[in-house]
Copies of this chain bind each other. A is one copy, B any other.
Amino acid sequence: MDLGLIAGNLLTPPVLFFALGMAATLLRSDLEIPQAVTRGLSLYLLFAIGMHGGVELAAAGFAADALLPLAAGVVASALVPAIVFGLLKKRFGAADAAAIGATYGSISAVTFITACSFLDDRGTAWSGTMVAAMALMESPAILVGVLLARRAGVRASDDGGDGDGPREGHGSLLREAFLNGPVFLLLGSLVIGMLTGEKGWKAVAPFAYEPFKGVLCLFLLDMGLIAARRLRALRESGAFLIGFSLIVPLVNASLAIGVARLLDFAPGDALLFTVLCASASYIAVPAAIRLTLPQANPSLFLPMSLAMTFPFNVTLGIPLYMTAIDLLWRTA
């Protein structure tokens, strides 16, 4: 195993700022970042990654071989919730099992971004297709998770049934999956990036590209603060779920690497695909689940993804997956 790669990843500014944030909370520093700033930073990141991906997609053109990774991503994002649901339903009930499944089927944009920046640091190429894959993988897991819960008898959310509510009942399911704020901004920026191409990118890049890594540091500092605050809730949810939140990414990553190998992805895209499969959502899914599956307990699925899976992927997971990919692609 390539310990140098792990150490190298741990010693980059984004990961160190994440650690600094966690340390601040654990040492009980009163460092805090106003929620408006947190939200501003996340809007920036979604905007920037969306535009960037769209431009790269436009530059590559829609080759047929771009469709394969996209399809693989969507399938993975739909299968994971079903598997997780099967594993957890007995123990935690249908609502929570479905919520956790949706969480792990969907993706973490920040983990993805950190992986991109990891690849850039190594000089490994990656393609805009993966950004499109990321955008497409946000939502199917939400749909699948909620539908599974409904089939298992969990009642749809409605508030009195007058029907004029824009965000309840079955209609709200699709709405939450695709009109969810972060998903909408990401998809929208992707499309705008494709429409405006190189020229639009040139105008926007001094804001969306050059300061990106610096902003990512501040954002990860904040994520560290936020993640560490969830450690207590996580401890209360018990050893099983803690273990689960480490094993799922490893299992998903292994499967993803296998698929990427079979489909003959380039190493950079293989890492990104793996990271998408191994990461869990803490932005798009929790909000959608609160609205479509209010029975699910947010102090289970949110801390699992935010306080375990996310830190694991960002610090150890990414270099680990890369090591495995380097090995496999070399031997193959």
Measured CB to CB, the residues of A under 8 A from B are 11-13, 16-17, 20, 23-24, 27-37, 39-40, 43-44, 47, 51, 117, 121, 166-167, 175, 179-182, 184-185, 188-189, 192, 195-196, 200, 203-208, 210-215, 217-218, 221, 287
Contacts and interface: CB of A to CB of B under 8 A. Distances in A.
A12 B203 CA distance: 9
Given A13-B203, A213-B204, A192 B20 contact: yes
Given A29-B184, A44-B218, A196 B34 contact: no
A40 B208 CA distance: 17
B214 A184 contact: no
B218 A213 contact: no
Among all A-B residue pairs, the 6 with the closest Cβ atoms: A207-B214, A207-B211, A31-B181, A36-B36, A29-B179, A206-B210
Copies per complex of this chain: 3
SS class, residues of chain A in contact with chain B: helix
23 contacts: A13-B51, A13-B192, A13-B203, A20-B188, A30-B167, A31-B185, A32-B181, A34-B36, A34-B40, A40-B40, A47-B217, A47-B221, A117-B203, A121-B203, A203-B213, A204-B213, A204-B214, A204-B217, A205-B214, A207-B210, A207-B211, A207-B212, A207-B213
Given A13-B192, A34-B39, A196-B11, A24 B184 contact: yes
**Best-buried of A34, A192, A195 by chain B (most CB within 10 Å):** A192
Nearest to A47: B218
Given A13-B192, A207-B215, 4 more contacts: A33-B43, A34-B39, A47-B218, A207-B214
